[in-house]
Structure 1
């Protein structure tokens, strides 16, 4: 089936899907501002005048972004043509479940969570309207179903490998904790801003990255706020945020200004900050350096990626950069013992040597086709 031609943009050879994220980010800013006109709206780093200014700036930027498109020649990189090939791996659908549809303009990424509960392996998924369903991942048998009563923005967050609860976040800053065994609402909190990525859930803490530039840590037992830290928000950024990473005594988070920061989990004290990307360029578009890719931690090394920036490897013990390589991306990373795998902003798939940062191989057969993040199987 022939793919519809992408919308024309005035810039020469842009990263088309990155531009779409900018457009949806403008829409999301407006929608969030409108949603926040209705109480409750508290504990936000934005005052009402600041939010109004953001809406006005978003409307102006959206107008500038798309005005004059028809008068200019189309310089969008065309998607690579799809070629027939002989499949080397066979797949089979095991089961499926329809979670309903959502507004395409919302550009949501409602990632399911897979882990273990007292009853065994469980997959928990949500839709944009607030329906949360738990399944047996082996056969799709439904374990429980809960209606939250609010619009969902950030997907499902759970503990690494298991735990007793999952966290779902809403468009107006709602945070809901559900019992993993039966879907019962354990507690509900309001953090005042939308969370576009799943929460990181630990035994005592829940960490969330908000769209207004904050890292918020809540008590996992009751939802009470333990601490928060606000970072500068650029005038323009991509839609979405990265998921924080909870460790035993620390929490790791990337921000829209290109910073990657490690915090002391108990107090919120900043342990170290690494600039994954430094803004450069003559306008706000060229200066976007979001760390929207969720960082990875493995064998004492942290890996972080920024849009229009770098892929860096950081020694967690010393906070020193082991290596850095120029890279641009916003999808999550994957790894095995030898390499890091990523999809860059052009939808090229790359394998990067974990020790040196050298590119082992790259694949551009799906150029400009909005390729998802890679996943390593049996790695």
Structure 2
């Protein structure tokens, strides 16, 4: 990753063509075939834990896939296909704020609670405060990873995995850093971009990189996966969000390749395990959880990667990334069902129902409420009894 004092100049046309192709790859699987295996009948709801639907909220437009909901305190912010950004009170589902970016967005929002950053389909980074636009900047490529707003700056990872940092108040570019120049395909889904202490951690190909947030220079690299195969499709390797961080332990998934954990204090790769999944992971102090592309749910021990359990009862459902919540692991599917599994052994605890449009993104938690966003534009809030 090379730092530059100028905006990234790689053409948007080339990057967009590649990301569209790679995005299609992530969607192509047994689920799209006429002869696809049918999901198993799960039988009666085990209802081992008591959870009820507390509220619903209508956003007024459909929600696109792969656009994460953003949690800040007791609020949840969701984007819709028409470019609207809505913030809800997770306690009640009531609308706290709403504004429009003026055109469709390419990813979810980033926010520090005061300023909210979005990226539009025309590759403009826009920052809003209290629903009013503060500034905008034209970017050199598309963005599929939510911006990070932290420390008075807005950090953006472009589709080609280049980085840029802007002053959050004025929009002045502070620095930019080029991504790898030899990547023929790029995924059209959120990557890895988060703070870890005084370091910016990003996903670059199959590696986690620690970046100096003040100037964009690379402090360390930690490989989780390497390209394999004989053609560009088979050699596609990239890290996808969400990730799981507990202290210095940061665990992530490499698309259709591995899951692994890195100690971000010294860039030591603790372990990697083969795993054919396309969405991110979550975890706690003891375990890391993820879903394979075929719907198998897996758990690994956080310290050494030993497999703890594997459950295949949700096979042939397109599952979201998981959420660790209390004693459960929560995943949702494209049929609108929310599955709460035991962290201990993966057994079913209970199932919750949204609508048949299917769930758009991984569930989140705020204000002791499980928040699930349907592709229909309805947001559901579930609470324990």
After TM superposition, the score normalised by the length of structure 2 is 0.73
Query: 8 Å contact 1:277–1:308 — kept in the other structure?
Result: no
Query: 8 Å contact 2:242–2:282 — kept in the other structure?
Result: no
Question: Are residue 231 (structure 1) and residue 179 (structure 2) matched?
Answer: yes
Q: CA deviation at 1:308?
A: 3.1
Question: Are residue 113 (structure 1) and residue 63 (structure 2) matched?
Answer: no
Candidates 143, 148, 154, aligned match of 2:107: 154
Change (3 A) 1:217 1:113: same
Question: Are residue 174 (structure 1) and residue 121 (structure 2) matched?
Answer: no
Q: CA deviation at 1:329?
A: 2.4
- How do residues 286-305 of structure 1 correspond to structure 2 at under 5 angstroms? 286-305=234-253
Structure 1 partner of 2:308: 360
Q: CA deviation at 1:58?
A: 7.1
Structure 1 partner of 2:280: 332
Question: Are residue 137 (structure 1) and residue 137 (structure 2) matched?
Answer: no
Change (3 A) 1:150 1:364: same
**How far apart are the structure 2 equivalents of 1:339 and 1:96?**
32
**How far apart are the structure 2 equivalents of 1:90 and 1:214?**
46
Question: Are residue 258 (structure 1) and residue 206 (structure 2) matched?
Answer: yes
Query: 8 Å contact 1:208–1:243 — kept in the other structure?
Result: no
1:51-70 deviations in whole A, cap 9, x for unaligned?
Answer: 369749978x98xx99xxxx
Change (3 A) 1:55 1:371: closer
- How do residues 205-244 of structure 1 correspond to structure 2 at under 5 angstroms? 205-232=153-180, 234-244=183-193
| Structure with greater helix percent | 1
Query: 8 Å contact 1:207–1:246 — kept in the other structure?
Result: no
Structure 1 partner of 2:37: 78
Q: CA deviation at 1:342?
A: 1.2
Structure 2 partner of 1:71: none
**How far apart are the structure 2 equivalents of 1:125 and 1:53?**
26
Change (3 A) 1:200 1:79: farther
Candidates 295, 298, 306, aligned match of 1:347: 295
| Structure with greater strand percent | 2
After TM superposition, the score normalised by the length of structure 1 is 0.74
1:6-30 deviations in whole A, cap 9, x for unaligned?
Answer: xxxxxxxxxxxxxxxxxxxxxxxxx
Query: 8 Å contact 1:305–1:328 — kept in the other structure?
Result: no
Number of matched residues? Answer: 313
Candidates 49, 57, 71, aligned match of 1:89: 49
Question: After TM superposition, where is structure 1 displaced by more than 3 Å over at least 4 residues in a row?
Answer: 42-45, 51-59, 74-77, 100-103
Instruction: Please state whether the residue corresponding to 2:86 is helix, strand or coil.
Output: strand
Instruction: Please state whether the residue corresponding to 2:57 is helix, strand or coil.
Output: coil
Instruction: Please state whether the residue corresponding to 1:109 is helix, strand or coil.
Output: coil
User: Gaps (5+ residues) in structure 2?
Assistant: 1-5, 328-385
Q: CA deviation at 1:374?
A: 0.9
**How far apart are the structure 2 equivalents of 1:377 and 1:46?**
41
**How far apart are the structure 1 equivalents of 2:16 and 2:246?**
38
Structure with the greater alpha carbon radius of gyration: 1
1:217-273 deviations in whole A, cap 9, x for unaligned?
Answer: 222222222222222363234321314012342101113x32221101111110111
**How far apart are the structure 1 equivalents of 2:53 and 2:15?**
49
**How far apart are the structure 2 equivalents of 1:237 and 1:77?**
27
Query: 8 Å contact 2:107–2:190 — kept in the other structure?
Result: no
User: Gaps (5+ residues) in structure 1?
Assistant: 1-41, 67-73
Query: RMSD between aligned alpha carbons?
Result: 2.9
Query: 8 Å contact 1:151–1:171 — kept in the other structure?
Result: yes
Change (3 A) 1:83 1:167: same
Candidates 261, 266, 269, aligned match of 1:313: 261
**How far apart are the structure 2 equivalents of 1:360 and 1:53?**
39
Change (3 A) 1:55 1:147: closer
Structure 2 partner of 1:36: none
**How far apart are the structure 1 equivalents of 2:224 and 2:115?**
32
Q: CA deviation at 1:44?
A: 4.1
1:276-323 deviations in whole A, cap 9, x for unaligned?
Answer: 211111222211112123333322122122023222221222212122
Query: 8 Å contact 1:278–1:289 — kept in the other structure?
Result: yes
Change (3 A) 1:147 1:274: same
